[in-house]
Structure 1
């Protein structure tokens, strides 16, 4: 069985290859530097000695902002257009550098919120912008590479973790300065993108966020990712840094290999890959917890990193292979995706922190003294497996019904 052609192909304007790939690189680097700025801010927050609940709330300042940003991102993109929309999102990420000027908790919270808002807008814009200029296998590859942008940013941050600990203020400023440089490049390159016709904008506007919330697929797609996102945010904030470092490094390799393989795997098999990988994820997450101080901890951390990020190019592509998906529908899907998953993660991370505070608080390296909160977050991570199974069944049913609908038409 061959895959159906991309539903968005007919609406994609011709853009020179050099411009397309440069735009893709800018989008990737913008979100990568958001991750670096987030992690640099974590070091800055840690240097002020806040407790687990305060630290979690400052992390949730970003995730709350991402809920808000995700909900409005599709409409911001529609109103401002790709060039101005990404410029706005990037400017908010750069604003995150102002955290280096204050230690007052309310101001730190506000600046972290603005940083998160910029990241939320940017990640939705990424999916919509690439859908407008790429098709087919190129689109799959670009989406796969973009899915590892945040993790690559974390890998960069972890590589320079010692320097960030020594000079957290300098790390925050450096991340903001690099983001400003990428924004300047975007303002130059984006001039070469074709302007959307008024008729195209009108068609896009006909599919609203309310329409998106009525779709079963969008809810399950988002809720499936909620547990995985919660687990991952807790991991790089509250778990053993040595183990997490290997999880992140392996994640980069996993996502890149997943991208290369996903481009060659038929669409009918993609949901199955996600289900199998989700099962391996859950087993690996439990194993990391059980073998924290064991000699195999590093090996299990590597397996976990591969299992988390290898299926992401496949998982993201599920939104694109739905029959009749348009760039506007894709942007709405990812608005809901990030809003719901980050909203859920806010709740789960705060519960994690409350459990940590109630069972002994944080020890060296911001790691909980008790295993109880870590067991809780592993259980939460299971939602990815549950959601993957439901999505696989849904897409299989949709595919089996497609020929009958064509005959009826």
Structure 2
């Protein structure tokens, strides 16, 4: 239920983009309505951990699902202010939901089962994009219907959630109540790990949002398809890899991401474009289960601390992506705007977003060094 609900959020986001593009707005306004969702992700992520603590996982997730269903009302208007508000509400639901994914599974599962659940949930958004892009050509002919369909499917899942969660969450959450309910967002913001963890992802998230919003759909579709395979493969592999090796795997994939992103840009019109797109999707999403697991393998980490970490993670990364995406759009407008296919006329904004993507490599390298130091320190204590 968690996986399917967040998967449909991705579908609603993408098909909502189809509707927005059909209204003929400029690159800046199109980016701003995408940023309506990312701004909401910042707000929702900051409050998600506290919502989970106050109303419990069942009702917190119900609220998130309801907000996503409300996003379907964008189909009844073509007014920019209303579209912005409705998209904001959709993004707020997605923000609450993505933080709750980690918070709920951390209370229900542990060990290898927890790693697999996190890995599967990490591919939910990309799976939703794959579904949306697969049917995007037909939906593009009637974007209003697409938006309503996505909202209707989310409404069906919301009703099912109310029944399934009553049975699935009974007792299990009570048995694993966090013992550190006093750990606050303020404590989390003081933690060095949370900042680096979030900022590392900011560039990658910005690149990916720009990719599925402004890049050629025929290439990005293959990136998304390969991403689903990459994330599922990464989930299976990460469950078998020793924790001390996971940070290094993420760093290596971060370096490969920059090379692949640059290659996609350089070979956009080449016959190898699809192959390079597949490679890009693999190296972006294969390390995601490893990357997410970094928050769980910290020494003496608790479910409450994990919830706070992911609240900060999504808030900071989406806040950063708002800035980078808007800068991308301004550069695109200043260098010729968008072509008839919705992609930038100039290559300059694409070069900019590839450079931004490099924050993933920088941040994960810092985390790898930190984990290496922690392991060395632990070894000294054990020896003593």
Deviation at 1:204, TM superposition (A): 3.5
1:121-270 aligned within 5 A:
121-192=96-167, 193-195=169-171, 196-197=173-174, 200=177, 203-270=179-246
Query: Is 1:358 matched with 2:334?
Result: yes
- Structure 2 residues not aligned, in runs of 5+: none
Query: Is 1:51 matched with 2:33?
Result: no
- 1:308-365 deviation line (CA, Å, top 9, x unaligned): 0000000000000001111110000000000000000000000000000000000022
2:310 maps to what in 1? Answer: 334
Deviation at 1:163, TM superposition (A): 1.5
Does structure 2 conserve the Cα–Cα contact (< 8 Å) formed by 1:93 and 1:116?
yes
2:66 to 78, 91, 94: 91
Deviation at 1:403, TM superposition (A): 4.0
Q: 1:249, 1:365 → 2: CA distance? A: 21
1:53-68 aligned within 5 A:
53-68=28-43
**Residues 266 and 162 of structure 1, relative CA distance in 2, 3 Å threshold:** same
- TM-score, reference length from structure 1: 0.92
- TM-score, reference length from structure 2: 0.97
Q: 2:295, 2:348 → 1: CA distance? A: 35
Deviation at 1:306, TM superposition (A): 0.3
- 1:44-66 deviation line (CA, Å, top 9, x unaligned): 00110000000000000000000
- 1:278-305 deviation line (CA, Å, top 9, x unaligned): 1110000000000000111110000000
**3-state SS in 1 of match to 2:341:** helix
1:286 to 262, 265, 272: 262
Does structure 2 conserve the Cα–Cα contact (< 8 Å) formed by 1:241 and 1:365?
no
Q: 2:301, 2:110 → 1: CA distance? A: 12
Deviation at 1:181, TM superposition (A): 1.0
Q: 1:399, 1:298 → 2: CA distance? A: 41
Q: 2:103, 2:275 → 1: CA distance? A: 37
1:22 maps to what in 2? Answer: none
Q: 2:176, 2:341 → 1: CA distance? A: 55
Q: 1:258, 1:199 → 2: CA distance? A: 28
1:290-309 aligned within 5 A:
290-309=266-285
2:6 maps to what in 1? Answer: 31
Give the total of aligned pairs: 382
Q: 1:170, 1:327 → 2: CA distance? A: 40
Does structure 1 conserve the Cα–Cα contact (< 8 Å) formed by 2:188 and 2:309?
yes
- 1:190-246 deviation line (CA, Å, top 9, x unaligned): 112235559946x34210000000110000000000000000000000011111011
Q: 1:164, 1:45 → 2: CA distance? A: 13
1:5 maps to what in 2? Answer: none
2:78 maps to what in 1? Answer: 103
Q: 1:102, 1:184 → 2: CA distance? A: 26
1:8 maps to what in 2? Answer: none
**3-state SS in 2 of match to 1:278:** helix
Does structure 1 conserve the Cα–Cα contact (< 8 Å) formed by 2:107 and 2:177?
no
Does structure 2 conserve the Cα–Cα contact (< 8 Å) formed by 1:226 and 1:340?
yes
**3-state SS in 2 of match to 1:364:** coil
Does structure 1 conserve the Cα–Cα contact (< 8 Å) formed by 2:40 and 2:89?
yes
Deviation at 1:186, TM superposition (A): 1.0
1:80 maps to what in 2? Answer: 55
